[in-house]
Amino acid sequence: MGVLIPFFLLFFFFLLLLTHFFFQFWRTKKLSHLISFYRNRNRLLEWFTELVAESPTNTIVVHRLGSRRTIVTANPSNVEYILKTNFFNFPKGKPFTHVLGDFLGNGIFNVDGDRWFSQRKVASHEFSARSLRKFLMYTLAEEVYGRLVPALEGVSYGGSVLDLQEILARFSFNVICKFAMGSGNACSLDPCVPVSSLWRAFDVAAAISARRGAAPLFVIWKVKRLLGVGSERRLKESILEVHTHVMKLIHEKKKKTMKNNEDFLSRLICAGYEDDVVRDMVISFVMAGKDTTSAALTWFFWILSHYPDVEEKILKEAEANEPLNYESLKRLNYLKACLCESMRLFPPVAWDSKHASCDDMLPDGTVVKAGDRVTYFPYGMGRLEALWGLDRFEFRPERWFTGGKWSEVSPYKFPIFQAGPRVCLGKEMAFVQMKYLVVSILKRFKIRLVSTNKPTFVPLLTAHMAGGLKIFISNREKRK
């Protein structure tokens, strides 16, 4: 009995410490926020949108047990401060790069400081007007008319159901692979043919990496990675496949003379970068172009199916600016307004995070502590009455015009392509690709939805439509 008394005393003392621990966390709302986070885990976007809309500053602070203090803002003044005014205090940060480090390594989207600056300087040469013209004339035209249109015609004749999201994703993957690596035919556009193993590896790696960042407790994925089990085992296998493929291309290109350096990979090799740096930069490029435009276009075509009058206006504008080339695409402002309006409601990247290097204060008075995760929230911003008015939930392309002329909107109100020093280098390329694709499809085909149910918006590294976009597609009669 005498031996048991010290044991019971220690156990009682442990219970007191445990009770005190949970009480302290409850007082700081960390435990309660963790419970709320778990309850809303399947509707995080809607939950955060509700919270920022209710906040007088459109900014909230989230505490989660086992996670960093997180500031989520939909305030344009804050967004400008984070992305531009005090840019150097809000890098991606080690927590972000740690989550994506296994997959993206030291590529441009996962580094800060000098590494980021040097890679951005090299990459900026890929997006000159001359490069975009070549991209349109050779890569896009060849992929659209040589592969996409024939594939869609085959489906239209058969009358079968097509998952437009998957076809657009395959197409975008082929385009970015050809642009970044000079490697075409990466994925068949025949819906009856399974996707390539490389496409699948990129997809799995991106999805699991995104779930790391959204995990209620980061320690869970870290333990799984340590043990090499579950999703972390699949992530490791997918990354190995991607790395192996890109390294093989690097070694093959090094054996050639490469007098005509027509792709990004060849130019990086000729610039003298080490193989692992080239690999990481190319993977980042592929990830940037693989799903963003296809995600934007998937939701665009879903919305467009509800507005035949808008579709007619797009076709008339395109007919008035034929033939399609770099200059005429720039004049398609109504189509650009439709694309922007669609991305306002369904942004390809729903939110993006930085990590504060030092203590700070946002313009709305929100206190930022060193190490805080600071997230700006395009999805929520597109649904704020204060920014877009009472009709914020409506698809209305006319809101992008003033007096009948195109009206530029502040990138801090509409940060779909980021803004400031990190503004997306491929913004113009994305609009060229989306406009060209929309006109090429609408001129030849009519699209009808299989289901009238509203699809679910799923945010990962890039958002997608749960279950895909199932459509019937038929040939359009020639317009007079």
Q: Which domains does the chain have, with CATH numbers?
A: 28-186+193-475 (1.10.630.10)
Each of the 480 residues of the chain gets a pLDDT tens digit; together they read: 454 454 444 445 445 544 444 444 444 444 445 556 667 667 888 989 999 999 999 999 987 665 678 999 999 999 999 999 999 999 988 888 888 889 999 888 888 888 888 888 888 877 877 787 888 778 898 999 999 999 999 999 878 899 999 999 999 999 999 888 887 667 889 888 988 899 999 999 988 988 887 666 677 888 888 888 999 999 999 999 999 999 998 988 887 755 556 678 888 888 788 899 899 999 998 988 888 999 999 999 999 999 999 999 999 999 999 999 999 999 999 999 999 999 999 999 999 999 999 999 999 999 999 999 999 999 999 999 999 999 999 999 999 999 989 998 999 999 999 999 999 988 999 999 999 999 999 999 999 999 999 999 988 778 889 999 999 999 998 766
Query: Annotation-wise, does 424 bind a ligand?
Result: yes
Evaluate the omega torsion of the peptide bond into residue 323 and state whether it is cis, within 30 degrees of 0.
yes
User: Which residues lie across from 473 on neighbouring strands?
Assistant: 447
Q: Which residues contact 405 (CB under 8 A, 6 or more apart)?
A: none
C-alpha Rg value of the chain to the nearest Å = 24
Whole-angstrom distance, CA of residue 398 vs CA of residue 18 = 59
Angle, CA of 228, 170 and 181, to the nearest 5°: 80
Whole-angstrom distance, CA of residue 13 vs CA of residue 32 = 25
* Side chain identity at residue 156, one-letter code: S
Whole-angstrom distance, CA of residue 202 vs CA of residue 200 = 5
**Strand, helix or coil at 60?**
strand
Q: Which two tokens stand for residue 60?
A: 């909230």
Q: How far is CA 235 from CA 101, 209, 216, 239, 240, in A?
A: 12, 8, 19, 6, 9
Q: Which two tokens stand for residue 293?
A: 């435009």
pTM (two decimals): 0.88
Q: What are phi and psi of 93, to 5 degrees?
A: 90, 155
Q: At what angle do helices 197-214 and 218-227 cross, to 10 degrees?
A: 130
Angle, CA of 192, 193 and 196, to the nearest 5°: 150
Q: Which two tokens stand for residue 188?
A: 């068949």
CA 102 from chain center: how many Å?
18
Q: Which two tokens stand for residue 380?
A: 């929520």
Q: How many CB atoms lie within 10 A of CB 144?
A: 20
